């Protein structure tokens, strides 16, 4: 009887160990990469209104920056942050004679803060946006870099690089249908802002 109980306990331990290994494998396969900087002492609750600048596009999809910018705006609005209408942002950039977002100066950002009555601007880039193909599966890949700059000081208060992790465990091993490109881009944006809001 004691031997049966011992075998039963060992069998349960083995099964628990096996389930834990599968869970770790599933989690690591579905995980995504994020690196971020948060300025010490930054008060994100004080940021009530934001201007989202046009994103730079380094992906193969020529419309990726517009698609991701729309998702960023929707995400901020859903969190109770006021977002300036994109046309107003373009008008302000033209007025300030900003030819490229990459060359925007601190004084331009301060001036935009006053012109548009915003606490911060978001600038950034789309590094990857598309469907990647493996040997037997296809999966969405989205990678963004965002920077939140305080308009009063011109200081960077938050910067994040975030990317999807590729094919999920189920897609790679069982051929199950994974996320769409639209779902993946929404997830990447939401997860990035989850870090500060």
The angle subtended at Cα 48 by Cα 154 and Cα 109, nearest 5°, is 25
Q: State the chain's mean pLDDT as an integer.
A: 83
High-pLDDT (> 70) share of the chain, %: 75
Segment 10-51, tens digit of pLDDT:
555 555 544 444 444 443 334 458 999 999 999 999 999 999
Model pLDDT, residue 55:
97
Backbone φ and ψ of 163, nearest 5°: -140, 155
The angle subtended at Cα 120 by Cα 61 and Cα 31, nearest 5°, is 50
Q: What domains can you pick out in the chain, each with its CATH number?
A: 33-194 (3.40.50.10610)
For the cut 80, the answer to whether the pLDDT of residue 56 exceeds it is yes
Query: What are the distances in angstroms from CA 119 to CA 46, 82, 176, 196?
Result: 8, 10, 44, 16
Burial 47-86 (b: 16+ CB within 10 A, else e): bebbbbbbbbbebebeebbebbbebbbebbeeeebebbeb
Model pLDDT, residue 176:
45
Return the HEC string of 89-118.
HHHHHHHCCCCCHHHCCHHHHHHHHHHHCC
d(C-alpha 31, C-alpha 34), whole Å: 10
Helix (H, G, I), strand (E, B) or coil at 63: coil
* pTM (global) more than 0.85: no
Model pLDDT, residue 10:
54
Helix (H, G, I), strand (E, B) or coil at 179: coil
Model pLDDT, residue 24:
42
Contacts of 196 (CB under 8 A, 6+ apart): 38, 44, 148, 158
- What is the torsion angle, in degrees rounded to the nearest 10, for the CA atoms of residue 146, residue 129, residue 28 and residue 197? 30
Q: What is the DSSP letter of 46?
A: G
Segment 97-132, tens digit of pLDDT:
998 998 899 999 999 999 999 999 999 999 999 988
């Amino acid at each position: 009887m004691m031997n049966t109980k011992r075998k039963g306990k060992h069998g349960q331990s083995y099964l628990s160990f096996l389930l834990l290994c599968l869970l770790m494998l599933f989690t690591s396969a579905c995980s995504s990469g994020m690196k971020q900087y948060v300025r010490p002492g930054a008060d994100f609750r004080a940021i009530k209104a934001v201007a989202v600048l046009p994103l730079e596009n380094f992906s193969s999809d020529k419309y990726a920056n517009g698609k991701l910018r729309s998702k960023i705006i929707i995400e901020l609005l859903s969190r109770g942050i006021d977002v300036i209408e994109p046309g107003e942002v373009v008008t302000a950039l033209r007025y300030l004679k900003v030819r490229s977002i990459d060359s925007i100066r601190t004084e331009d950002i301060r001036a935009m803060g006053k012109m548009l009555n915003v606490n911060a601007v978001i600038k950034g880039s789309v590094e990857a946006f598309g469907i990647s193909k493996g040997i037997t599966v296809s999966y969405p890949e989205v990678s963004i870099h965002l920077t939140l700059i305080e308009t009063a000081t011109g200081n960077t208060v938050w910067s994040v690089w975030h990317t999807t992790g590729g094919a999920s465990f189920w897609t790679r091993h069982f051929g199950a249908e994974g996320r769409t490109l639209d779902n993946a881009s929404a997830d990447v944006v939401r997860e990035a802002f989850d870090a500060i809001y």
